[in-house]
Each structure stands twice: as C-alpha cells, then as structure tokens.
Structure 1
Amino acid sequence: MPPSQSVELSEADAANELMRLAKVIARHDRLYHAEDAPEITDAEYDALVRRNRELEEAFPHLIRADSPSQKVGHEISASPLSKVTHELRMMSLDNAFNREEVEDWVARVRRYLNLDDGDPVAITAEDKIDGLSCSLRYEHGALVRAATRGDGQVGEDVTPNARHIADIPQNLPAGVPDVFEVRGEVYMSRADFAALNAAQAEAGGKLFANPRNAAAGSLRQKDAIVTARRPLKFWAYGWGAASIVPCDTQHAMMRLIEGWGFPLSPFLTLTDSVDAMIAHYQEIGRQRPDLPYEIDGVVYKVDRLDYQQRLGFVAKAPRWALAHKFPAERAETVLQGIDIQVGRTGKLTPVGRLAPVLVGGVTVTNVTLHNRDEIVRLGVRVGDRLVIQRAGDVIPQVVENLTREASREAFAFPDLCPECDSEAVAEEGEVDVRCTGGLICPAQRTQRLEHFVSRKALDIDGFGSERVEKLFKEGLVKTPADIFRLHQHRDTLLSWKGWGSKLREADKANGDTSVDKLLAAIEQRRRPDASRLLFGIGIRHVGEVTARDLMKSIGEIKKLPQIAEKAYNFLKSLAPNDFETKAALEEKKKSGLFEIVGANGMEAVVFSLHDFFHESHNREVWDDILSEVSPPYFEFHTTESSVSGKTVVFTGNLKSMSRDEAKAQAEKLGAKPTGTISAKTDLLVAGPGAGSKLKKAEAFGIEIIDEDAWLRIVLEAESGEE
C-alpha cells in the first residue's frame, strides 16, 4: 500500500495494523536472526518493514514500544550459546531503493553538518554481502571473543567456532591498539553452499535455504567441530569498541584493518558525488550475477570520522551510513489461480497462485495482486503468462501480463467475505474492499479481541495477545462478550499449564492465582467508559478521539445504532450541493445529528457506522456486549485552566504522550484542539521535529511552548481542581 493510502487509514485501523506488523516482524526476526529458519524472502521482509515505517510516519503518535523501528535483530534468549553484551551496540542500516532516496540521504547529511554547496563530502561504497554479522574483540593483539549481533546489544559467544575460520586472524601484528573490535560478515560462497547442500542431501541431513542461512547455522553451532567442517569465510566492514582509532577516515581505517590480515570487499572505494556513487552501484550490479558470493546491495558511509561522530545515530541505525538495495529481478510464469485472503483488519487481498519460478535465487509461488482495481488494471486472469519481479521494497509482484489479449473469462471479485459471508464493500474513493463482518469474521477476530482489551480500549490487566490467542483457540472467547463470561470456566483455566500459578504476595488481594487476578480485572470493567468501549469494538474510522466525540454528542451508547442510522439517511437525502448549506446545517442541529454529521469531516464515520450496524451479525455481537456491560451515561467534564477557551495545536514528536492523549488533555482543560494553524490559533505546543506549523505560528505571532511547559499547565490545572 502506498503512503498516501496509509494516511487515509483511521487511527483504529492504523493501530491495529501496527500491532500486527510488530508481531509479524518480531516473529520473522526471531526466525531469521535466532533460529536461521526464515519463512519469507528478504523482499517480503523489507516490504513489511517499509509498510511499518510508512504507517509510523503517517501516525507518529501511534509508534509502539515494541516497534521494529526501535529494535535491531532479535534477542537470543533461546540459544544454547552464552550471551555477550556488546560494549558498543551493533546497529542496523536504513535502506534506499532508488537514486532519489540516495540523493535525499546525501542532502540530509549535508544539511545536518551545515555544509556549503562547495564543501566536499567523501563517501565510501562497497557491496553488501548477505551473511551473518560478527564482532571480533582483540586485546593486546590476541583474539579473545567473537560474538554475533543478536539484538544489537546482546549477542552470542561464538569464539571457539570463529577460531576455525581461516579468514579470521588469531593474533594481530605488533603495534595495534590495546583493545580493538573488528566487525564484519561471516558468509559462505555460492560454490561452497552448493557443495554443502549436496553433501547434506547425500547424508539425509537438513538442506539450507540459501548461503546466508548455511553460514549462520554453521557459525552458531554448540559443537565447534561442526563449524570447523563448514567452509566459512569472513570479511571486515568496520569496527566497534577501540582503545584508540589510529586513522581519521573510514577508508583509511579499513585499509589499515586489511593490513592486519582481514579480507575486505574487493569493491571498497571512495566516491565524491552522487553520480560516482550510482556509477559504482551500477557496476557492482552488472557484476553481481557472476560474483562468487551473494550480495543484496551497496553500502555507503560518510568517510570522515569526525563527521560520523557529529551525525550520530537514530533509533537503530547510523545517520552516516545507508544500504542501497538492488532493483527487482524478473522471471516469467503462469497464473494458476487467484485466492482471496482476508486480513485482520478486514481487507480482502487477492493473491495469485503461480507455477513455481526461480527469481533472484528464490522460488516464488505466490504474488500479491493488491486489490480489485489492480486486477482490472493488469487484466489478469487464470491461465495468463505474467512477468514477476522481486524488489527490495515490495513483495513479489506482477510487472506485466504477456497474454492479456487472449480470450479468457475475467476474474469476478467477490461481493461477500469468503471467511464469514458478510458483505464486502469499498468505501467511496477507496480501492480496498473490506469485510463488514468485523467482530464475527474469523480472519479478524483475534486481533479485534486484542484491540478490545488493549490499554486504550477496555484496558483489562493481564490480557495479553498470547492469552487472547489461547482462549480463542480453545473456544472460550469468540466475541468480546465471552470475555465477561470467562468466570464460568475458572476450573478449566486453572487446569492450563501456567495459568493457575500462585501470585506474589503483593498481588494476592485480587485473588490467589493469575487466573483469579485476570477474572477480577475483567469484573472491574463491567461499567466501562462508553467512549473506550466504543473505540474497543473497532469500527472502521472510529478512533479514540472520534469515539469520545460521538459519546459527547449522544451520551448513552445504546442510542448509537438508531442515531447513526438517522444520520446516514439524512446524508443520503441531501443533494451534493446541499450538504453545507445553512438550511442543511440548521436541520442537522434540530435533529440532534450535528456532532455526528457536522461540518468537521464525520461523513466517513457515519457511512462506516451504517456498514457496521447494517450487518445482523455485528448487531448480535453489539447487543451481546451490552448484555454483559453497563457503561454509565457519558459525561465530559472540563477543568478550569489557563488555556480554557483557547485554540491549541500540537506539532512535532511528543515524548510523554500520544497526539490523541494530548488533544484529550486539551479538551479536559476546556481548550479546543485543532490540527491546523490559523490566525485564530492561540497556542502551539511544539515537540522535536516541528516543521511548517512552527514556522506558520511564528509568522502569525502565536504563543509557542514546548511539551514540558504544556505538562506544567496540565499539572497546575489538576492541582487546582484538587
């Protein structure tokens, strides 16, 4: 999905998708880094990471603590090898996929360093080998420890294994620093990989998926004798902790390391412009098919070490380095079928089943067709011959339909969800078709349930994703209302391994076991805040703030289906040019629909509510929930404060709260939070990264404060209320 579509997501959908991506990417990180058993291609993994980045850029206040953008690799808790804490963290790299992104990176470097146009910026360039990162620590010239990257902070001790790799010196020449960590990649050549797999097949052993997996599995052996029998190689790309760094540039340091006996990339060179970088990238790409080892891109690094130090790091990557991934590799194959998959947010995604084809060293059997419009654009039908590509920024995709002129029946996109038979519809102006089944759709249920019990919804303590999945799998919780009937299954829950464990003394007030504590937490939510309950149900376009706005308007949650239907019929009755006329607005006010339909962009919410309540399955679930809980009448009280009656805008990255939480605080203090700056704005709260809104506020002479000052206003108001 392109970034533009990310922005059109509701906050609830974005939060759900970010939660799903965090779990999926964490799982694939574990499979790749900790178990050397990946289930998806590098391209598919890159697509997940890029999608996560797009959503976080569109919704920065929804960035999760467990976001993959905040982590490197994966923790190695299940490893039989000893753990090692890196003195300096082993970072990952940000990716670029085209010339424009490389140019943007160079421009950001120059801006950050405040360089004039004429100031040169030398940049090293070398091919990015597809291996396993390893840090080699030398003390007084002797190898004392070798460690894998792990999660960047903690890796595995593979010292006995690394001693069997011929490319790794056991001792360095005289005169080297007292402490120096050489960092690089352990890898296996294509020829050695083929020979190893042939030997494994003959012996009836495990076959490796690719050279990277073979190298990782061989290095991370508990028995170093196994590693000694594997044809592993090593080359250096940098360094970590060092008592002294003898040179002042990246290139000079790498040549010094080469002089100590370490192999380097044969393509390591120094460039002085984007044109030179791209030319070197293209030359490496031209030679790529004939190289004796696997690579997946080119790495650029700012050469001057003082510049590197000034540039520093972001969450998990240095600002002074970039990985430029190679473009797609292509192949032809036949489309054998089209399946419709239903995502956890209800999106219907068509997936093409292909005659297996080798693309860039990976066998591809499935390809995403994205959505209904994309099928029409490509004209694809079962039996067509297609050109397929794999790229660093997308999962396998269709480039061209070679037989679209052939006489074949067009594919009929379903009008009903294949999982639950609910209506499948696309909202006006959207390309994605979504199941309206919501809470009754099997494909969406577990994530909907996780959302329902999450912190911003009902906030039921002790109800994590693993427990939701277990309860769903065992058939005890299929709908949100089932959560409030769990007390009927206490004996069953106590019989499950780990569920009946005794609590520590401090928690025994809520029960003697973790099950009792969970059941007590559920009972505490029998009278939930109505806006939290509505948000937790997960209706499309009804995010945390919208749910609160709706409840401020109607007060009693049971009235929502009827009022929403009135609002829907009212909208449908309007001629296109009548919606914002004075008469129309007056009619909305009289009918009590103004806050729901009003002049602030709630039309999409009305249509979404209609789609939800139109499904009898959803109405049954809705009624079932309200038979178990009794939300009190929603009353929104404000506190007198120094910002009461003022219009407030929040911008930039807020450290201690989400953007929605900040807006909720402003409303609580009697202020009016908005998203745009105008001459009528009274106050701008600006966090780090504030951009155009800050400049606009300065131009208007609007009062500007930082997040800490805003928190002081909140605390003063709360203390005054007490």
Structure 2
Amino acid sequence: MADDLFDFASRQATPAQRAEELRRILRRNNDLYYAKAAPEISDAEYDKLFRELEELEAQHPELASPDSPTHRVGNDLTEGFRKIGHPSPMQSIDDIFEKKPGEAAHTDQELIAFYDRLARTLEQDAPIVTVEPKIDGVAVTLMYRNGKLEYAATRGDGKQGDDITANVRTIAAIPAELPAPAPAILEIRGEIFMRSEPFAQLNAQRDAEGLPAFANPRNATAGTIKLLNPEEVAARPLDFLAHGLGLYEGEPLTDASGYENLLTRLGIPVNRPIIIARSLEETREAVRTVSNLRQTLGYGTDGAVIKVYDFAQRGELGSTARAPRWAAAFKFLPEQRETVLENIVIQVGRTGVLTPVAELAPVPLSGTIVSRATLHNQDEIERKDIRIGDTVLVEKAGEIIPAVISVNKTLRPAASEPYSLYHAVHGRCPSCGEPISRFEGQVAWRCTNITCPAQAATRTIHFCRREALDIESLGGSVAETLVARGLIRTPLDLFKLDLETLGSLNLGTDAEPRRFGEKNAAKALQALADARNYPLDRWIIAFGIPNIGAVTARLVATCHRDLHDLSRSDYLAALLELQTMADEYKALNPKARANKTDDEQLKQQRELRRTELKETMEQRAAEYTRRGYLILNADAKSSEPILTNPVGNVATQSLVDFFRSHAGRHAVEELETLGINPSSATYIENKNETVEGPLSGKTFVLTGALSRPRPEYEKLIAAQGGKATGSVTKKTDYLVAGEGGGSKRDKAAQLGIPVITEEQLLSMIQP
C-alpha cells in the first residue's frame, strides 16, 4: 500500500475528494500504528500526509470536520483491557517540521514561526521555553495517591485509556511507592519505551527463536504493554521517562524546574536534558543540541519538544481539541542513505536459526559507516522484495540497528532474481551440511542438528539449565570454553569428561590462565551422575526440541514409558494420522470451499470422501482410546468429528521430526551407548484415567501476576486431580487471580464464576 499512497494526488481530484482520501489513509494508519502496533508506512510518510490534510483543510474551511484525524488524538484502545477515564484529557502534540536545505530560508523555519506565535499571544518579546528530546515511545499516565501507584493507563482516545497497571508494575524504572512526603495526588505522564541496545538484543533473540523481528523499538513497546500476561511483559526490556503532569494536589508547582525537581526527589525518572531557552536564538541552538545528542542518548528520538516554561502561561495559552497550544514537537528529517546491496550472507545462530545479513556498499549514516544490515528472515526479504544488486534505502532503526527500509526498483539490474534463502544454501546448513527445515507458524529456516558446530555451546548451556538437567556449574562460559577447546561437540559429550580433563580446563587465556579446578569439576561430574537418573520430562526439555516447553514435556512423559518408547512413539504417530484426516475433512467442507462451480458429480465424490473420513476418524479414535491413548473429543454433542490433539499439532510434529532426524537418532544411540534410558516418573498405563485428589472434577483458570510461575500451578492442580485451562467458560469452576487479569475477571463476573486468590487455592489442597 505504501507505494500507492501518493498516486491519488496526481490524479484529477477535487479538494473534497482528496481530503476524504487522506482521512481514509490516515485513519487506517492510525489504527495500525496505535491499536495494532503494525504500521505499514514510515513516520515521515505519515507526517507528509497529515501535513497535506492540514493545509487542505486550512485552504478550504468548508472541508473541516471534527472527526478529521487533524482534530483527534490517535486511539490505542484495545479489547481485553479495563478502561480508565482520564481526569483531564491526554492530548497529542502538534508537529513542526525540519525542512530540507533549499526548501526554505531556514531549515527550522516552522520552529521560528511557532516561537513567534508564542511571543505574539503572550505579548512578550522572548518567552522562556524548555527544549527536550522527543522520545519515540508509547504515551502513558501513572496515577499516584498518597505516594502509592493506583493505576497506569494508555492514552487511548484521549478521554479514556486501557488499564495496564499489572504490566507497568513489571517495569523497574517505575516506582510502586514514592518516598515521603509525597503529594496527595500526582498524575505523571510520560513515555514507555525500549532503549536501543536491549531492543537489538530482543530482536536477536526473536531471530534465534524463529519469530518475526520487531520493526522498531516503538512497535515492540506498543505490542508489549498490551500483552495479557505480565510475566511476558517482565521479560521485555521496557523503560520509562516522565515528561508531563496531569492531575496534581500538593505543594504548588509554578514552572518546569519545580516539576523536574519534584520528580527527581520522588525517584521518578525524568526525560533529560531539559534545556531552558530565553530567546529565539537560544531555542534554535537548544534544538540543534538535542539533534547532536541523538546518537548518545541510547534510545530512539525523532525530534525535540518545545514547551512554555511557566505553568500560568501554559494555562493562558490553553489547548485545541487535539493538542496544547503551548507546546510543539520539532521533527527532525529522518537520517537515511541509499546504497547498493552487494551480497546476502547467511549466519547460523547459536540456536540453529539461519539469519540473512545484507552486505552493503559502505555508507555514512548517523555518525558511523554502515556496511551490514540484518534482513531478519525470508518473509521479510519477500515482503520488501529485496534482491542482490538492488539500490536500497538504509536507516538506523532506533538509531543503532542498520535496517533496509525499501528498495529503489527504478535502479534494479535487469538480470536480478528474487532471493531465496533455501536455494542460496541448497537446503543445507552452512555450518554442518545437514538439511534445514521450517516449522509451521514460524518464519525462520532452522538447522535442527544437535551436533551442529554453530549450536554446540548454546545447546550445551540449555542442556545444563535448572529446568533441564540442572548442571549449573557447566553453564555459560564453561560450556563455551569446552566447545572452543574441542573437548565436546554435543551436550552428550559432557558424560565423557573425567576429573583431570575438567579440573584443568583453562577458562582464561594462555597469558592469564584461570583453571576450573578439581572442586568445581567434582561437583559438575556428580551433577552429571545424578542427571542419568532424572525423569523423562527433564530429558525432553534438555534436548531443546523446538516448540516443546515444560508443560508439553510433562504431558508427553505421561504417555511414554521411557526414551526408547518415545523415540518410536505409536501414540504420536496416531495423533499425526488423526490430524491429517481432520485437515482433509475440513478442507472438503463445502461451506469452506471458495470454488462454487464444482459439478454435481464432483460434489458427490467429495461428500463421499468426507463420510469415509468421518467414519475412519471415529473408528481410529475409539481404537486408540481402547489402547489407552489420550484422544480428546472437543465436543461430544457435535455431529462433527472434532478431535483435539492434547499435545498440540505443532508440538507433535516437532517431536516426530526430531526423533526421525539424524540429530534425534544420534542422541538416542549415544545415550544407549552411555547406558542411559530416561524413564517417565508419571507414566499412566491408561491415559484416560484421571488422577483422584481434592481438586478432582474441578476446572481452574489462572490470570494476573502470580507469586509462582503458571506452569508450577498447572502441575500442582493436575497432581491434585484438577484441570487448568487457558480461557474462562461456563465449565470453569474457579478463576485463580493475581494482580491484573482484567478481561478474565470480567468474563468470570459475567458468568458468576468465583474468583479466588492463590492462598485460597492452596487451602483447597491443604485445608
């Protein structure tokens, strides 16, 4: 869509038609930007469209509308969150733009005009203003009453926002309680954002896990604060800086310095630097200072915010329906450069993900020479249609990570061809030569070979994690050193180490050696001896099979006696067979078919096949149930054969693929050589039997911020005969709620389902 945004302007269109087209485009992109955190166009493109609409409405007042994007703040309200009304409107801020050299007498001409308007309205020659960086984040409000954080909310539609209190409490920079003396009421407005380096690490982690990379820190932040699980939010590198004041009851505040001093005393991080300017020239110089500081701030900035210093004067100037008249954001020109993409190289990450990296003709950008940029994955390459030899536009996302923004297709070489990562590496891992694969629902190509040299250290670290085999002393740098010095090639080689080899391991350099030591070595070898007897679910986790977490590992272990049973599992094969039939049955549904022109004979053939599949699925399900397999019917009353895979379709395929692969077969054979065959501690001969206990027959849903990890509670509930599910329905008996969990609380209230605390759940087990 972005390529066609400006086409409309070149056609013969009346001002009214153009205004309506601009409003449509801006409303759509407002929704993508604020509510979905998935913008299709750049900020610069959006700003250009917005400014065009502003100018069109100014030239033709009859076209003005209170519903126009120029008169409304962006709306980030999202379903699933409780709404909180703002005591005073949370407004947007008007933008003024830096001009390209030659477009105007001064590149900051709009800044000069804004300052002159302030001077005329206030009847002062040189009103005092402050200048500070414009943070590229998500606007929020924090309400403190008597020093305690009561709630946090997004801007929403300006009048009300989404309650994100539980998520905000996970952000270390935001204090839950203020030191005394604190104001009776203090509403702080500011930005939640991600700093550049943690954002880069987050994207690298997502690349390694085969997940789509975030386009920029702002998108990542917007998506994170709207997650429904605070535990997931806590794992993201969110930060906060305050820049504004809402409702306030306390010692009088008269100006920006008093506000800054108050927040500093209370331990609330403030957006800095705040430069006080006492004239137009000082204001222009302060804006230039902020521009020069952009590369050193460590987070994304796209402008400088100018505000009137005196609070009384702010009140005198007032606001429009959309923004205050006493402030403006001077938007810097985006730093972008064109260069040639000379090659694409493939890096094998430490988790097996293949990441394409663009090699560029070196180009100066944001104070550095850029010669490489990540392309994230094949989907990203296809979406932007990036090819070797293209002239590409490059910028630094978050002002630290080089990113290819777009392709100048007018300069594309005639012989260029679409790029395929799979064909570029001939379908094989560049590190070990084994076949690569792509899992359903993931965007990355991956090497799953457990013996791949590029992955040896990471797989060993994972193998030794506490939730896996708990070989704590062999994690991190020790594992990396063992791999680097050629002492192990796979995690299973740890069992071949002896006291002398491990004890003399040099963790330092030849010039400055640092021995691991016999005491540490003995401890590690004892942990390895203990691991030989760990149950099957711990070993499943240790293998690091994609899409297999702790909960799935425990479920799979209940269905298999030992590793040998799992490696040739008839049960997993049965689940795949049923899923294949279910997929075909669904595809043959006449209501789901797009082709309505089939002749009658073809329709009859499809219906016969559906009938045959239905009978076969029911027979297989009944047979597998008699054999003790766990086969769930999602709706026993339905005439349709709706079967639910308790392991999960993706997880089942991952397990089968792993044990059929060279890596999986090697692991089983190697363990057999080592005399290790992990057994299940929870194997149930008849999987359709239920555990009897104080929670038998009860269904629980967990929500909010809990004191223990959710999987721990799920395991506890199952061990006591109960069942933990993910969503509240009429069949739910109890909602176990920590702090937050608004949507599930609301659903429970609607259905009359009791909401209990963690303590009440535990008392049901041990009265």
User: Structure 1-normalised TM-score?
Assistant: 0.55
CA contact (8 A) 1:326 1:391 kept: no
1:103 Cα deviation after fit: 5.9
* Distance in structure 2 (CA, Å) of the matches to 1:284 and 1:707: 57
Distance 2:583 2:89 in 1: 60
Shift of 1:252: 4.0
Residue 248 of structure 1 deviates from its aligned partner by: 3.0
Partner of 2:547: 541
Give the 5 Å matches for 1:473-552: 473-487=484-498, 489-490=500-501, 493=504, 499=515, 501=517, 513-552=519-558
1:418 to 415, 427, 430: 430
Q: For residues 704-719 of structure 1, what are the structure 2 equivalents within 5 Å?
A: 704-714=755-765, 716=766
Task: Confirm or deny: 8 A CA contact 1:425 1:434 kept in the other structure.
Answer: yes
Pick one of 700, 705, 709 that aligns with 1:648: 700
1:695: which partner in 2? 746
Q: Is the 8 A contact 2:372 2:402 kept in 1?
A: yes
> Over alpha carbons, which structure has the higher Rg?
2
Indicate which of 249, 256, 260 corresponds to 1:251.
256
Determine if contact 2:563/2:678 at 8 Å carries over to the other structure. Answer: yes
- Equivalent runs, 1:182-581 vs 2, <5 Å: 248=253, 251-253=256-258, 265-266=274-275, 293-294=293-294, 297=301, 328-392=334-398, 395-402=401-408, 403-404=411-412, 406-414=414-422, 415-437=427-449, 439-487=450-498, 489-490=500-501, 493=504, 499=515, 501=517, 513-563=519-569, 564-565=572-573, 567-568=575-576, 571-572=579-580, 576-577=584-585
From the superposition, tell whether residues 484 and 335 of structure 1 become closer, same or farther in structure 2 (CA, over 3 Å): same
Task: Report Cα offsets for 1:676-721 as digits up to 9, x if no partner.
Answer: 111011111111121211111111111211223334445x27xxxx
Closer, same or farther: CA 694–125 of 1 in aligned 2, 3 Å: farther
Residue type at the aligned position of 1:466: S
The structure-2 alpha-carbon separation of the partners of 1:326 and 1:485, relative to structure 1 and needing over 3 Å to count, comes to: farther
Instruction: Indicate yes or no: 2:671 matched with 1:635.
Output: no
How far has the Cα of 1:254 moved from its partner?
6.4
The DSSP-based 3-state class of the residue aligned with 1:554 is: coil
1:325-350 Cα deviation digits (max 9, x unpaired): 97852110001110111223322221
Letter in 1 for 2:681: F
In structure 1, the residue corresponding to 2:474 is in which secondary structure? coil
Provide the residue aligned with 1:191 in structure 2: none
Q: Residue 268 of structure 1: CA displacement? A: 7.2
1:589 matches 2:636: no
For 2:723, the equivalent position in structure 1 comes to 672
Q: For residue 33 of structure 1, what is the aligned residue in structure 2?
A: none
Query: Matches of 2:551 and 2:747 in 1, distance apart?
Result: 25
Contact 2:393–2:407 (CA<8 Å) still a contact in 1? yes
State the secondary structure of the residue aligned to 2:87: coil
Give unmatched runs, 5+ long, in structure 2: 1-36, 38-69, 95-128, 136-171, 175-241, 244-249, 263-271, 312-328, 508-512, 586-609, 633-642, 685-689
Query: Whole-Å Cα distance in 1 between the matches of residues 400 and 93 of structure 2?
Result: 31
What amino acid maps onto 1:607 in structure 2?
Answer: Q
Match of residue 670 from structure 2: 624
Q: How far apart are the structure 1 equivalents of 2:131 and 2:669?
A: 62
Q: Quote the Cα distance in structure 1 between the aligned partners of 2:647 and 2:332.
A: 42
Q: Is the 8 A contact 2:499 2:522 kept in 1?
A: no
For the residue of structure 2 that corresponds to 1:444, the secondary structure is helix
Moved more, 541-550 or 247-256: 247-256
* Alpha-carbon shift at residue 389 of structure 1 (Å): 1.8
Please state whether the residue corresponding to 1:440 is helix, strand or coil: coil
Query: Aligned-residue CA RMSD in angstroms?
Result: 4.8
Match of 1:603 among 649, 655, 660: 649
5 Å-filtered alignment, 1:82-97, equals none
Q: Using the alignment, how far apart are the partners of 2:759 and 2:505 within structure 1?
A: 46
For 1:78-108, what per-residue CA distance to the aligned partner results, in whole angstroms no more than 9, with x for missing partners? xxxxxxxxxxxxxxxxxxxxx9xx967999x
- For the residue of structure 1 that corresponds to 2:393, the secondary structure is strand
- Taking the aligned partners of 2:277 and 2:750, their CA distance within structure 1 comes to 48
Give the corresponding residue for 2:709. 658
- The answer to whether the 8 A contact 2:391-2:407 is kept is yes
Shift of 1:515: 1.5
Conserved in 2, the CA contact under 8 Å of 1:339 and 1:352?
A: yes
Report the alpha carbon displacement of residue 284 of structure 1 after superposing the two structures with TM. 8.8
- Quick one: distance in 2 between partners of 1:287 and 1:653? 42
Deviation at 1:247, TM superposition (A): 5.6
Give the number of equivalent residue pairs: 464
Cα offset, 1:382, TM superposition: 2.0
One-letter amino acid of the structure 2 residue matched with residue 548 of structure 1: R
> Could you tell me whether the CA contact under 8 Å between 1:499 and 1:514 is conserved in 2?
no
Corresponding letter in the other structure for 1:413: L
Query: Partner letter of residue 485 of structure 1?
Result: K
1:567·1:593 contact (CA, 8 Å) conserved in 2? no
Q: Does the residue aligned with 1:514 lie in a helix, a strand or coil?
A: helix
3-state secondary structure, aligned to 1:475: coil
Distance 2:555 2:738 in 1: 25
Amino acid across the alignment from 2:357: V
Moved more, 680-689 or 549-558: 549-558
Deviations 1:2-34 (A, max 9, x none): xxxxxxxxxxxxxxxxxxxxxxxxxxxxxxxxx
The CA distance in 2 between the partners of 1:664 and 1:350, in whole Å, is 40
Residue identity opposite 1:513 in structure 2: K
After superposition, the Cα gap between the structure-2 partners of 1:634 and 1:383, relative to the gap in structure 1 and judged at 3 Å, is: same
Shift of 1:118: 5.8
Structure 1 residue 428: deviation in Å?
Answer: 3.6
1:639–1:669 Cα contact (<8 Å) kept: yes
5+ long unaligned stretches in structure 1:
1-53, 55-98, 131-150, 154-236, 239-244, 258-262, 270-282, 306-322, 502-511, 718-722
Kept after mapping to 2: 8 A contact 1:416/1:423:
yes
Residue of structure 2 equivalent to 1:685: 736
Q: Secondary structure at 2:471's aligned position in 1?
A: coil
Distance 1:290 1:514, change over 3 A: closer
Q: CA deviation at 1:288?
A: 5.0
Task: Using CA pairs under 8 Å that are at least 6 residues apart, name the structure with larger relative contact order, 1 or 2.
Answer: 1
Query: Structure 2 length as normaliser, TM-score?
Result: 0.52
